[in-house]
A and B are shown apart, each in its own frame.
Chain A
Amino acid sequence: MKKAVVFSLMLLAAIVFLLGCQRSETVITSLDDAKHARIGVMTGSTGEALTVARYPEAQVKSFDDIMDAVAAMKSGQLDAIVTGFPAALQVTKKNQELGLLSEPLDYEDTAIAVKKGNDALLAELNRIIAELKRDGTLESMKQRWFKTDLTPYEEMNITLPTEGKPLKVGVSATREPFSFVDKNGRVIGHDGELARLIGAKLQRPVEFLNMKFLALIPALQSGKVDLIVTGMTATDERRKFVDFTEPYYANAQVMLVRKSAGSKPAPSPAVAGRVDQGSEITKLADIDGKRIGVLGGSAGDLAARKHFPNASFQVFITSADAALAVKTRKADAFVYDKSVLLNLAERNPELVILEQPVDKLEVAAAIRKDNSALLAEMNRVLSDLKTEGVLKQLRAKWIDSKYTVTPQLPPIKGMPDKEVLRMGTCATIEPFSFQVNGKLTGLDIELSQLIGERLGKKIEIIDMNFEGLIPALQSGKIDFALSNFNVTEERKKLINFSLPYVENDISALVRRLPSPGSAAEQQTEVNQGRRQDAKLASVADLKDKRIGVLVGSAHDTYATKNYPDATILQYKSPADVALAVKTGKVDAALFDANPLREIMRQDDSLGLLGDSLFTFFVGVGFDKDNRALRDQFNRFLSQLKQNGVYEEMIRRWMEQRDTRMPAIENTPSNGVLVVGTSDAGLPFTAVKDNRLVGFDIELCERFAASLGKEVKFANMDFGSLIAAVSTGKVDMISSSIYVTEERKKQIDFSEPYYEMATHVFALKKNIAAFDVSREVKGRSMPLLTRIANSFYSNIIQENRYLLIWDGLKTTVIISIFATLFGTLLGSLVCFLRMSKRRVLNLPARVYINILRGMPVLVLLMLIFYVVFASVDINPVLVAIIAFGMNFAAYVSEIFRSGIEGIDKGQTEAGIAMGFTKIKTFVYIVLPQTVHRILPVFKGEFISLVKMTSIVGYIAVQDLTKASDIIRSRTFDAFFPLVMVAILYFLIAWILMLSLEYLERMTDPKYKRLKEGKA
C-alpha cells in the first residue's frame, strides 16, 4: 500500500513539473536569427518549402497541425514556427508569450481548390469571388474574421437551400480564423462563411467534410469533395494536382517566436487593473498615477520616481522600447532626457513632449574616482571647448536641429600611435551615442574625437551596456565614459564627473492628442488609438495620407478622384514609386497587382494593404488614324486566343512567372514595327539581361512576326507613351496600359488582352495587419488556478464536452463493430488456413501476411481513397471495414494457436463417440479454445480500440479528433490530451470487463463456484 502511495505521488510530481517546465532557447528577433534555429512548419504547406529553402542550416520539424507546433514551442522544443499569417495571428491572440516577426517570409495567394478539369465549377467560383470582391463582401469578411482581439466573431446570416445536390466542401477545421468549428460543431470562420456564400449563390445546400489538411487534396481528386475552401495557398506544386480559383485573400508566411527578454517589461503587480489606462495626459500633473516608462537607473528614472510617487513604473532597456510602449498604449509616458526624446518625437509624429520639463539634468563625462589627473585634463578640455563655443555648436548640431538625416562626424585630425585612452559608451542613445550603418556616431562620439585631438591621445571606444559602464570605470577597464551620463548624487558616490558639457531637461514623452475641433475627434477611442498609431488598417485609411502613383497612370486618376483629401504624389517610374514608399515620402502607393508582386517579392519591407481596389482591362494603344493596324492586331489577338498560344503565354508569364522569352520565328520582309513601351515591371515589361522581356514584349514580337515585320522597341517613360503613339513616333504602345475613358479620347485601344487589378501597398510596419507587438503576461498565476482555467476553457466553454461525447460515441461504435466483423472474418480465415487443401489455405495465408504487414493507417486510406474512390460511403463504415480486416488477420492466428493447442485426444474421443468433425469442434474443441485464447484476444481488442484514433485522416470525428479541435481553439496541450487519454483508458477498460465476463462464463470451474459447490 505504501509503495502505491509513493509511486502515485512521484507520478503526480512529475506531471506538475512538466506543466510548469520552461526552458529558454535561442531568442529570435529577426528573420536572420533563425538561420540555425529549430523551426516548426506545417507538413506539406508552402511554409515548409519556404523554410527549408531559406534556412538550409536550420533544423526544420514538420507538424500536422499548428497547435502541435505551438505546444512544441511552448515546451522549448522549437525556437520558431513558420506558418500562414491568419493562423499565426490566432496563436498570438491566445498565447501572450508568443509574437510575430514583422517581416514575413513570403507572400502567397489563398484560393479555392477544385478538381483538375472541373472548369465549369472553376469559372463559377471565379465569378463569385470577383463579385464578392467588387461589392466589398470579402473586405467585410476580412474585417470580421481577421481580428486582433478576442472579442466574439460576428457571423453573416446566410440562408442556404435545403434541396438539391449538396456542394461538398472539404475543410480542415482547425485553422482559425479560416475554418474552425463552433460549440455546436458547425464549421465557421472566414472560409466557412465563404463556402456558404458560394452555396447560396449557386443555389445548392452546403455540406462540410472536415478532415486533416493533408487529406484534402486526395479527397478532392477522388471526388469525395467538390472544392476545398480552407485557407489553402495556391502553390505551383499543388497546381499540378488541382486547379485554383483567383485568390480571395493575400496571405503571408510569417514567423512566430517567443518574445525576447529585452522587450518584456519587468512584471509589476500593480499594472493589471489598478492603473488608469488611456485617459489623456495634457500636463505634467496628469502623469502622476499613470504608467510611466523609464530606463533603469537613468536620471529620468530617479526624477520620475521623485516627482510622481503614485505612478507605476515599467523599466526598459532602450529608449526605443520605452517609446514603443507609449505608442502602443502599454505605457502612458516616457520620462527621459529631452534631447533624446526630441529625436524620438521627430520620428514618431504621434508622440509629443510635454511642455513642462520634469527636472533638469547635466550630462558629463564619467571618470574613475581616483584618477584625478585625467579628471583635471578632461575639465581643462571641456572648459576650453565651452569658451570656444564648440560645445554650443555640438549641441546645435546634434540636439537642437531635430535632424532627419543623421549629421556626419568630422574627420579625425589623425595622429596615429599616440597613447590610448579607452572610452566606454552605450551606443543606443540617439543623439548622444548610437549606431548608423554599423558605425558609432553622435554627440558623445564627436566630443570624444575632440577630446582626443586636444589631449593628443587616441581614443579607443568600447560599446557596452549602460549598467556596465560604472563597473568598467571602477575596475579600470575604461578610462572614462561618455554616454549621456546624467549627473546624480548616487553616481557621484561611485565615480567622478567632469564639468557638464550639456545641460538638458528631463521631460515626459506622451501620446499626441488630436487638435480640438477636428472631425476626427468625434470618433470613438478605438479609431483615435488607431490613427495615433499611424497604422493603416484598410484602404479607407488612405483618405488623408500621402499617396504615391505613377504619373499619368489610371491610378493617378483614380486616386485623385477618390481621395480628395489625400496628398497625391506622382512619380515617373515604378521604381521611384516603390522608393518613395520605402523612404517614407509617401504613406502608401497604388500600383498594378502583377508587377507589384514582383516588387514585393524582392523587397521584404513592403506589404499589401487590403484587397485590390479596382480592376481594369489592359489593351494595346494605337493612333486614332491607324485603324488598319488596329484591326490587324485584333485579328491577330483572336487568332492567338483560338490556337491556344494566348493561354500558354498567360500560363507562363502570369502563373508560372517564367521570365524566359521564347524564340519567335520571324522573317522580316515587310518593314519595321515600332512599339513604344516602358519599364512597367514583370510580368508585362521589364529589362532583364539587357533585353526587354515580358508578356507585352512577347505579344508584340508575335504580332510583328505575323505581319512579317521587324520589331523595334522604344523604351520611354510611361507618361510619354500616349503622346508618342498619337504623334506617330511609334506605331503602337504596349505596356500594361489600362483602357480608360480618358485615354480613349486620345487613342484607340485594341481588344483587351488582360484584366488587371490595382493594389495599395505600403511599408509593412505601417500596416496594422502586420502588427508584432505583444505584451507578455506575468507568469505568476498559481498552478491550481491554471488547471482550473484550463479545465474550464477546454471542457466547459462552448459546451466542448459535447464534442468529446460525440467523439466518444464514434470511437466506441467503430471499436465494437470492427471487433465483431473482425472476429467473424477471422474465424473464416482461420478455417481456411487450417484446411489441408492448398486451394483453401494458400489464400488465407496470403491474406494474413498482407494484412499483418501493412500499417493500419495505410490500409484505411487505401480503402477510403482507392477502393471506394468514387463511391459515396460513410467513412465510419470504411473505418469499421478496415479495422475489421486488420483485426481478422490477427484473430485468425490467435484462433489457430488456440485450436492447435487443444490435446488431440479430445478430438479423437469425440470422433470415436460418433461426433462428426464439425460437432466435435463445436461441442468439444471450441469451448476449450475460447477460454484459452481470451487473454490474448483481449489484448488485441484493446489495441484495436486505441488504433481507431487515426480515423481523423478520413474525416471521421472521433475522440482524438475532438481533442484536436479543442486544441486548435485553445492551444492548450495538457488538458485535452490528458482527458482523451483517460477516456480511451476507460473505454478499453469497460470493454475489457465485458470480455472478462465472457472469460469467466467459459471457465467451467467458475460455474461450479457460483453454485456453491466445493
Chain B
Amino acid sequence: MIKIEHLSKRFGDLVVLKDITTEIKTGEVVSIIGPSGTGKSTLLRCLNRLEVPSGGSIQIDGVDILDRKTDAAKIRQKMNMVFQSFNLFAHLSVIENLTLAPIKLKGIGEEAARAKALELLRLVGLAEKADSYPDELSGGQQQRVAIARCLAMEPEIILFDEPTSALDPTMVREVLSVIRRLAKEGMTMAIVTHEMDFARDVSNRVLYMDEGIIYEEGPPEQLFENPEKEKTRAFINRVRSYTCRISSPDYDLYAMNAEIEAFCEKQILPKKTRYNLLLLVEELLQIYNPYLRTVVLEMTVAYSEKHERLELICESTGEAGNPLESPGLTDDLGVMIIRNLTENIDYQWLGGKNRLQLLMKTNLP
C-alpha cells in the first residue's frame, strides 16, 4: 500500500537518503535496521510527511502524499506513529490522550471514545492507569499507552520509530510483546529498531539501510543468517574490527602492538586472548617481513560479538601465492605456532590480492 520511489532527502549539504525505492504491502511487517545516522528514522518520518523529502515520490494507496494539494492531515489519519520519546500529551490524562483525536478528528462521541479507549488500554494491560497522567507512568507504560493511542484512531499502518531505544531492558520486553501481538493480528507495520532478535521474530521483511540506500533487503532468515553483503554481515554479527596498513619494513611495530592491545581492551577480550593475538600477529609479520619491501600488507583484526570469534585477515599485494606456503619459508617454528593458535586458515586470491583469513581458536590455554 505504500510505494516509495527514488526518495531522497538532504539537510542542507548533508545527504541522508540518496535513492530509496521499496514497497510496503498491506499486512506486512517491515523492520528497518542499520547503523546510526543512515537515515532510518528519516525514511520513516518521510512516510507521514513529518519530514518533507527533497525528491522522489511516496504513494499511499495510490495517492501521492508529496503533492502539495493532498490533505496531509487526512492521509495521516490513516496511519499513526509511535515515537522514541513517547510524546504523550502532558496536559491530558491517559484516557484523555486516547480519546482526544477520535473525538476531535473523527467526531466520535465521548462515551463511545471512552469505551474504546478503555478496551485498548486493557489490550496493552494498562486499564487501571486510565486516569493517571503521563508523568506518573514508567517509560514502558508510557510507550504502551502511546501504542494504544495510535490504535484508538484505527489506523491502517503504524510506523514505529525506535520504539524501545529509550527503555531499559526490562521494559523493552513489555513493549515488544504488545507489538508482537499486533503483528499477530495482522496490522501493517514499519518498525525502525535495534532489537535484532525481535526484528527476526516479528518481521516479514527486513531492510538494511546503509550509505543512504537500502543496502540489502530480504526475509529475516536470509538477512540474519546469511547476509549477502559484507557490511550487512558486519552489522548483523556486530563485527568490530581494527585495520592497519603496512607499506614498508620500517613500520612501527610497537605502536601497532599498542593499538591492537587497545582494540582488545575495547572489546573487553580476556588477557589470554590478547596475548595469543599478539603472538599470532608477531609470527605472521615475521613471515611477511621479507616481502614488505615490495608488497603492501593490510592486516585486519575482526571480532564478532555475536559469535565471540576473533579473526585475523591479511590482504597483501604482489604475486599470487599463500605466504604461509611459500617455498622460501625458513621459519617452520613460526608457522607451527600459527597453526597452533588458529582453528582455520583460509587462503584466497581475491580482487588482485592475497587474502589470508585466520580464525583463532576460542579456548586456548
Query: Which residues of A does B touch, CB under 8 Å?
Result: 903, 905-906, 908-916, 919, 923-924, 927-928, 931, 1004-1005, 1008, 1013
Contact = CB atoms under 8 A, between A and B. Distances in A.
Contact of A905 (B83, B101, B159): B83
B50 A908 contact: yes
A919 B77 CA distance: 14
A1004 B134 CA distance: 11
A1004 B91 contact: yes
Interface in B135-172: 149-150, 153, 159
Interface of B: 48, 50, 73-77, 80-81, 83, 85-93, 100-101, 104-105, 131, 133, 149-150, 153, 159
B149 to A, nearest CB: 8
Given A906-B90, A928-B91, A1008-B131, A923 B80 contact: no
B26 to A, nearest CB: 19
Contacts of A923: 100, 104
Interface of B, secondary structure class, is loop
A925 to B, nearest CB: 10
Given A914-B153, A1004-B92, A1005-B133, A908 B76 contact: no
Contacts of A928: 90-91
A916 B73 contact: yes
Nearest to B88: A909
Contact of B89 (A906, A931, A1008): A906
A908 B80 contact: no
12 contacts: A903-B87, A906-B87, A909-B81, A911-B76, A912-B50, A913-B76, A913-B80, A913-B150, A914-B74, A923-B104, A928-B91, A1008-B133
A558 B89 CA distance: 98
B104 to A, nearest CB: 6
B282 to A, nearest CB: 54
A912 B76 CA distance: 6
By CB atoms of chain B within 10 A, which of A903, A914, A919, A923 has the most? A914
Nearest to B81: A912
B153 to A, nearest CB: 6
**7 A-B pairs with least C-beta separation:** A914-B77, A909-B87, A912-B81, A905-B87, A914-B76, A916-B73, A1004-B91
A915 B149 CA distance: 14
A915 B90 CA distance: 17
Given A905-B83, A905-B87, A913-B105, A1004 B73 contact: no
Contact of A924 (B80, B83, B86, B89): B89
Contacts of A906: 87, 89-90
A924 B86 CA distance: 15
A493 B104 CA distance: 111
Dominant SS among interface residues on chain A: helix
Contacts of A911: 50, 73, 76
A903 B159 CA distance: 21
Contacts of A913: 76-77, 80-81, 101, 105, 149-150, 153
Nearest to A927: B91
Nearest to A1011: B131
Given A909-B83, A923-B100, A1005-B133, A915 B105 contact: yes
Contacts of A1005: 133
Contacts of A927: 91
A465 to B, nearest CB: 84
Contact of B133 (A908, A931, A1004): A1004
Contacts of B104: 915, 919, 923
Contacts of B105: 913-915, 919
Contacts of B76: 911-914
B77 A1013 contact: no
A914 B50 contact: no
A580 B184 CA distance: 126
A923 B99 CA distance: 12
A683 B275 CA distance: 123
B73 A914 contact: yes
A932 to B, nearest CB: 10
Contact of A908 (B75, B87, B100): B87
Contacts of B74: 914
A1008 B131 CA distance: 9
A911 B133 CA distance: 21
Which one of A913, A916, A1013 has the greatest number of beta carbons of chain B within 10 Å?
Answer: A913
B80 A912 contact: yes
A1004 B93 contact: yes
B83 A908 contact: yes
A375 to B, nearest CB: 107
Nearest to B90: A928
Nearest to B153: A913
Contact of B85 (A905, A915, A919, A924): A905
A478 to B, nearest CB: 95
Contacts of A912: 48, 50, 76, 80-81, 83, 159
A10 B83 CA distance: 60
Nearest to A919: B104
A1004 B91 CA distance: 6
A911 B74 CA distance: 10
A771 B90 CA distance: 78
Contacts of B48: 912
A120 B105 CA distance: 71
Contact of B131 (A910, A914, A1013): A1013
Contact of B91 (A915, A931, A1013): A931
A676 B73 CA distance: 105
Name the residue in B73, B77, B104, B131 with the highest tally of chain A Cβ atoms < 10 Å from its Cβ.
B73
A914 B153 CA distance: 9
Nearest to B105: A914
A903 B81 CA distance: 17
Contacts of B101: 913-915
